[in-house]
Amino acid sequence: MPRKFNHGLDYDDDDYGDEYDDYDYDYDIDSDAEDNGNLPKPNQETDSSSIWRCSICTYDNDQSMTTCDICGVLRNPLPLSGISNGNDLKTVPFKFDIPSPDDMVTNGLHSSKRGPKASATVRKDNTSAPMSARFSNSSSLMMSKGSNVTGNENNQLKDEEHNLRSSAKSPGTLSSYHEGGVEHTLPMDEIKPPILARSLDSVSINDRGGTGKAASWGQYKPEKWMLPESEDGLLNQLNLAIVGHVDSGKSTLSGRLLHLLGRISQKEMHKHEKEAKLQGKGSFAYAWALDESPEERERGITMTVAVAYFDTKRYRVVVLDSPGHKDFVPNMISGATQADAALLVIDASIGSFEAGMDGSKGQTKEHAQLIRSFGVDQLIVAVNKMDVVEYSNDRFNLIKRQLGTFLRSSGFRDSSVLWIPLSAMENQNLVTAPSDVRLLSWYKGPYLLDAIDSLHPPTRDVLKPLVMPICDVIKSPTMNQVSACGKLEGGALRSGVKVLVMPSGDVGTVRSLERDSRPCAIARSGDNVAVVLQGIDTSKVIAGGVLCHPNFPISIAKHLELKVLILDGASPILIGSQLEFHIHHAKEAARVEKMVSLLDPKTGKVMKKAPRCLLAKQSAVIEVVLQGPVCAEEFSSCKALGRVSLRALGRTIAVGIVTRVIEKEP
């Protein structure tokens, strides 16, 4: 069963035959006037001179705003900037005609996405679409349960949060908040902001949580075939999450890399270019290699994570191209949770970098924090669209200085962050040294591909039993066959092996394995594969579930103890707060059941028992009760099943780990 899917668009070889084999794609793209604009998704000016309409969400913004008040997308053209790409006519406005993944959890709706996809190179994962390989964190298991939060409860919660937030925001009243009409005072040291870096480190590194599975898993003895052989000649797989603010050029960069490295043929590229131009979106030709669904193409944004592959000298890279739009952060979480390393793409153009860094609307900081909380400590910052700023060294340095400070505070070591100025559109500094003299004059570092090769190989849990969180399920009803896609986080698989499918508890047999659409004999920890199963009811294999060793079942639970770090700018958390709970590829509505303790972020020691409320930058132990059960383990026994993020009102408010599985489901 292929991991690439060709059932969306018909490719007619006769139309694009040999004549295009020598097609100079670079020349054509570069000479296309509509692609030369620095901000190719124009916002539409409305009739009224006092407002401008965002082309992404169609919100009518006040003239004074340079970014959309709703989705943070940069206004184009900027007032008085004189910059326009002259390609406004056919831009199709973004419409929120389907609920965002966040809305679906909050409102208990079902995902409506069932669209087909097509690509010869890319797999898109969709946790709820059987035959489409899309990857959105809207698993049918998790979504079908929805949430019980009523409008009234929601409003009440919002009011409470508003009270807390406003009291927390006003200087001098930081230590007080309102609950049930009563003012409460917190000791000042309880709300002193910790250094985020230490907090994230203590969350991800210093956990000494429960003993749960660690002891029983200690008895596991891997068979000889499961251990990697040094002479097998295979490149190490490196799962590379491409993250960053909306429109920064993630898909364009990914598409360009795939094309330059021979993973997308001239013919395919020409096809993307032709179709993109037909829709008045010529500048998106490379992005269309990843953004395959009609909806993504029409809106000009990535909505679900695309999975593609290319090889470097050292690695078989699994590209996880994430959506940058804030409505699709849950999908980004589901994809990036598999990352071994990340490529944070920054739009260098004036105003766009700043929009991405905006604490409330930008996604640069949120993505960076999420990635760090998933245990990723190796980061390449691709400062893209340098062509727009004339390859200015000053602009690059400013971005490096401002973002560098934030990354340091988020727990990234300076020595683990590589900064690469580049232009995906002009093919500068991607797979060869730059040719533009403006960049050459001051940049002497590695090009992007070299930077990827310089990353340290990730460590793998080869001695642990099988754990493979399922990010996507592909069903083939005619053959009564089902494929579970995902990254092995422990153990190994080969055909004939029996696997336990959780949460159903059914046992299936591995019929075959595929890596990058090619059959492979063995998959080991770290490999991103499709596992074709037989002998199992296909409805029992669901995205958000986990494949594991039949003798070492993982836990299913609804009641968990978590150690969390509340993120900057987050709404306060109280007992009873309704949250979206994310763990590996599963998402579930959750309620805060208990506030166990407030922790000293530096030492991890308990500062206060049973705090009433948690504010931004605090670290705490809490208990949550989920609407439905999820596969979860204590972080100390299985990192991949023990990392969580909590979201509310469309933003990530906390990241953390599972310290105790309190009540296991039978």
Q: Does 247 interact with ligand GTP (rule: CB under 6 A)?
A: yes
CA 611 to chain centre: 32
Rounded to a whole number of angstroms, the minimum distance from the CB of residue 283 to ligand GTP is 3
Report what 247 binds from ligand GTP, Mg ion, none; CB cut-off 5-8 Å by kind.
ligand GTP
Residue 327, interface with ligand GTP (CB under 6 A)? no
Shortest distance (Å) from residue 85 CB to ligand GTP: 8
DSSP assignment of 259-277: HHTTSS-HHHHHHHHHHHH
C-alpha to C-alpha distances, 336 to 1, 306, 392, 535, 643, nearest whole angstrom? 24, 11, 31, 31, 12
Stretch that binds Mg ion, among 272-280, 297-305, 512-520, 525-533 (CB under 5 A): 297-305
Selection from 30, 37, 65 nearest residue 51 by Cα: 65
Q: Considering CB distances under 5 to 8 angstroms, the limit depending on partner class, which of Mg ion, ligand GTP, none binds residue 423?
A: ligand GTP
Of residues 315, 263, 337, the one with CA closest to residue 517: 263
- Within residues 51-110, the interface with Mg ion by CB under 5 A covers none
- Determine, following the binding rule CB under 5 A, whether residue 119 of this chain makes contact with Mg ion: no
Nearer to Mg ion, 353 or 391 (CB): 353
Span interacting with ligand GTP, options 76-84, 269-277, 418-426, 580-588, rule CB under 6 A: 418-426
Please identify, using beta-carbon distances, which residue of 247 and 366 lies nearer to ligand GTP: 247
- The 10 Å CB-count burial string (b at 16+, else e) for 229-266 is eeeeeeeebbbbbbbbbbbbbbbbbbbbbbbbbebbbb
- Binding status of residue 287 toward ligand GTP by CB under 6 A: yes
By CB under 6 A, is residue 165 in contact with ligand GTP? no
| Contact set for ligand GTP, span 596-655 (CB under 6 A) | none
Contact 311, 295 (CB under 8 A): no
Q: By CB under 5 A, which span of 295-303, 421-429, 461-469, 657-665 interacts with Mg ion?
A: 295-303
Q: Which stretch binds Mg ion (CB under 5 A): 34-42, 180-188, 300-308, 625-633?
A: 300-308
Round to whole Å and give the CA distance between 431 and 323. Answer: 23
Question: Whose Cβ is closer to ligand GTP: residue 439's or residue 482's?
Answer: 439
3-state secondary structure 200-221: HHHHHCCCCCCCHHHHHHCCCC
Give yes or no for residue 302 binding Mg ion (CB under 5 A): yes
Please report, as residue ranges, which positions from 357 to 386 form the binding site for ligand GTP (by CB under 6 A): 384-385
Q: In the bound complex, what is the minimum distance in angstroms from residue 291's beta carbon to Mg ion?
A: 6
The option from Mg ion, ligand GTP, none interacting with 40 (CB < 5 to 8 A, set by class) reads ligand GTP
Residue of this chain nearest to ligand GTP (CB atom): 324
Cβ distance 454 to 476 under 8 Å?
no
Is residue 587 a contact residue for ligand GTP (CB under 6 A)?
Answer: no
Judged by CB under 6 A, the number of residues near ligand GTP is 25
Q: Using the rule CB under 6 A, is 248 a contact of ligand GTP?
A: yes
346 three-state secondary structure: strand
| Shortest Å distance, C-beta 273 to Mg ion | 17
Tokens standing for 276? 């993109």
Give the tokens for residue 464.
Answer: 């642990």
139 lies in the site for Mg ion, by CB under 5 A: no
Nearer to ligand GTP, 51 or 431 (CB): 431
Q: Of ligand GTP, Mg ion, none, which one sits near residue 385, judging by CB under 5 to 8 A according to partner kind?
A: ligand GTP
| 87 belongs to the binding site for ligand GTP (CB under 6 A) | no
Q: Which string of DSSP letters, residue by residue, matches 100-167?
A: -HHHHHHHTPPP--------SS-EE--TT-SSS----S--HHHHHH-----HHHHHHHHHHHHHHHHH
Q: Smallest gap, in angstroms, from Cβ of residue 251 to ligand GTP?
A: 3
Asked if residue 344 binds ligand GTP (CB under 6 A), the reply is: no
472: left (phi over 0), alpha (psi -120 to 50) or beta: beta
Q: What's the rounded Cα separation, in Å, for the pair 483 and 568?
A: 40
- Find out whether the peptide bond into 503 is cis, omega within 30 degrees of 0: yes
Site string for Mg ion, 234-253 (x = CB under 5 A): ----------------xx--
Q: Please say whether the beta carbons of 53 and 61 come within 8 A.
A: yes
Q: Give the C-alpha separation, 83 to 385, whole Å.
A: 15
Window of 9-17, 18-26, 320-328, 647-655 that interacts with ligand GTP by CB under 6 A: 320-328
- Would you say 525 and 461 are in contact if contact means Cβ atoms under 8 Å apart? yes
Shortest separation between residue 289's beta carbon and ligand GTP, angstroms = 10
Q: Which is nearer to Mg ion, 332 or 499 (CB)?
A: 332
When the beta carbons of 254 and 555 are compared against Mg ion, the nearer one is: 254
Binding status of residue 40 toward ligand GTP by CB under 6 A: yes
What's the closest the beta carbon of residue 135 comes to ligand GTP, in angstroms? 13
Long-range contacts of residues 419-422, Cβ cutoff 8 Å, at least 24 apart: 419/381, 419/383, 419/445, 420/380, 420/381, 420/382, 420/383, 420/445, 420/446, 420/447, 420/448, 420/451, 421/348, 421/383, 421/386, 421/391, 421/396, 422/253, 422/382, 422/383, 422/384, 422/386, 422/447, 422/448
Q: How far is the CB of 249 from ligand GTP (least distance, A)?
A: 3
Kindly list the residues in this chain that would bind ligand GTP in the complex (CB under 6 A).
Answer: 38, 40-41, 246-252, 283-284, 287, 301-302, 323-325, 384-385, 387-388, 423-425
Kindly list the residues in this chain that would bind Mg ion in the complex (CB under 5 A).
Answer: 250-251, 302
